[in-house]
Amino acid sequence: MDKELELENLAIDVFEKMGFLLGNKGEKKDFIYPSFSDYIKATIEFKGEKKGSVEIITTKTIGKILTANILGIDSPDDVKDDYQADAIMEFLNVFCGNLVTALYGTGLIFNMGIPVISSPDKGEIMSTMSETASGFLIVEENPFIFMLREN
């Protein structure tokens, strides 16, 4: 299985199990660029026998829906920005943990850093989408972009 497909399958699985959301494989060529200020980016590094980072970029809408589902909040509109950042970082922790285990096995020990949240610009989004080990999903009609960088 190639890394892009493995990344996509893992992201779909984590969305379903953690966020109660369904994701579908999207085509990068079909990505539509709405307002770039509506995006949130999170990055986490991992270290051990293998080193690298995992990056996700998604809309603030997905952040709010994910947060509401994880915390049991009735409406995504009631989600506070601080809660959204925490939920995105926790999602990334789980995604990265599943990813390194799937790629490198359960016999290796990894230390994961603290996720960093930022607001990506168009260049960062385009750069992430052009990476070989990246993937693109549609979740709740919103884009979800992710990438694995191995050092």
CATH of segment(s) 3-150: 3.40.1550.10
Q: Confidence class of residue 34 from pLDDT cuts 50, 70 and 90?
A: low
Q: What gap in Å lies between CA 8 and CA 35, rounded to an integer? A: 24
29: tokens are: 């060529």
pTM, 2 dp: 0.83
**The pLDDT value given to residue 115:** 95
pLDDT tens-place string over residues 54-107: 998 888 888 898 889 888 888 888 888 778 888 899 989 998 998 888 888 888
The domains of the chain are located at: 3-150
Q: Count Cβ atoms below 10 Å from residue 72 Cβ, excluding itself.
A: 6
What are the tokens at 92? 């990334």
pLDDT at 1 over 70: no
Least confident of 34-38, 68-72, 96-100, 109-113: 34-38
Regarding predicted confidence, which is higher, 5 or 105? 105
Q: Tell me, what's the pLDDT at 149?
A: 86
pLDDT of residue 133: 65
Tokens 């995504």 correspond to 76
The two three-digit tokens of residue 129, written as one number: 């989408």
Q: What is the rounded distance in angstroms from the CA atom of residue 49 to the CA atom of residue 70?
A: 32
pLDDT at 53 > cutoff 90: yes
